[in-house]
Structure 1
């Protein structure tokens, strides 16, 4: 299911590009990646699914906490009202705090990479995913003044 989530999120990102408000390629890439990653975000509450395994133990520990706070899989992170408030709140705060801004970008990129790896377009482990996620987040945030 994870790859389907990511691919559908990427499609929504492409379909909604006219709403992005900016025409530069870097921002539009960020827009599409954010939609792709966000489609897999709710599964951060489920141990063993694609989202918590994207960076190995580094992402599994916070995932356990998210699962406990959410009340288990398909509760808080899948709730129609609570999930947008929680995730939207995180990204709103990430706009204000530079360190969280980079984390948010890396998280979205990491979720997309993890979803695409699951359909074996290429093979990448947790370390490669972290390098791609954080390197991509750094590049997107430092080239063109991108903001979430």
Structure 2
């Protein structure tokens, strides 16, 4: 799947589950602002498994810096669709975020927010077209402004943030399981799991059917759980 599709799937999965699972998992009821913020950050987190792709959406979102990072991750993880496309990676992302929030404090929370916002801006195409300096300077600028704005609303230790990161990462894996080659969910076991619904990335099934459906579902979920004042969260 393409980066845009992954981002939309991450947003949908968070918007559809967090308001209902948060009371069970975290013993906390999410405010509407938490649902909205988490949905955007989960969209960004849905690109994290492609840190192993030297020319994917995530590799180009901050110019040469992100390309260098992705080449390094690809080298460490064994190449595209290996270690970073596993349930182990989902656990590491969620657990690592929880540990960072718990032990590194506010700086880690804001840094993670900036990084995920930058990914979301890139994947959702909220920037000028192209891949040059104007694009990634715009992404950085919007992400800085967004992080500064969210600083006023983010809790000191947002318990939902690790969930948003893990869920966005999981959404990416589920999306790749709909394509050829699938994903090695149980890595280092090498078997790949797939149910081929998308025969080629960017085809009509993905861009004209799945993405519009996921977008509508996401907005509907947000309306009923975070926007509509008549629906308690």
TM-score by length of 2: 0.56
Deviations 1:37-87 (A, max 9, x none): 12111011101100121111222222222222211110110022x212321
2:114 is the alignment partner of 1:106: yes
Aligned mates of 1:29, 1:93 — CA distance in 2? 23
2:99 is the alignment partner of 1:93: yes
Number of the residue aligned with 2:90: 84
C-alpha contact (below 8 Å) 1:6/1:37 kept by paired residues = yes
Aligned mates of 1:64, 1:11 — CA distance in 2? 29
Aligned mates of 1:30, 1:68 — CA distance in 2? 33
Aligned mates of 1:58, 1:17 — CA distance in 2? 32
Aligned to 2:79, what secondary structure does the other structure show? coil
Number of the residue aligned with 1:27: 34
TM-score by length of 1: 0.83
Number of the residue aligned with 1:12: 13
How many pairs does the alignment contain? 144
Higher RCO (CA 8 Å, separation ≥ 6 residues): 2
Once the 2 structures are TM-superposed, how far is the Cα of residue 4 of structure 1 from its aligned partner?
Answer: 0.6
Looking at secondary structure, tell me which structure has more helix per residue: 1
Deviations 1:3-35 (A, max 9, x none): 110011111121123134444333222211222
Aligned mates of 2:149, 2:99 — CA distance in 1? 21
C-alpha contact (below 8 Å) 1:102/1:134 kept by paired residues = no
Moved over 3 A (4+): 20-23
Q: What root-mean-square deviation, in Å, do the aligned CA atoms of Structure 1 and Structure 2 show?
A: 2.1
Larger Cα Rg: Structure 1 or Structure 2? 2
Question: Can you give the 5+ residue segments of structure 1 that lack an aligned partner in the other structure?
Answer: none
2:49 is the alignment partner of 1:42: yes
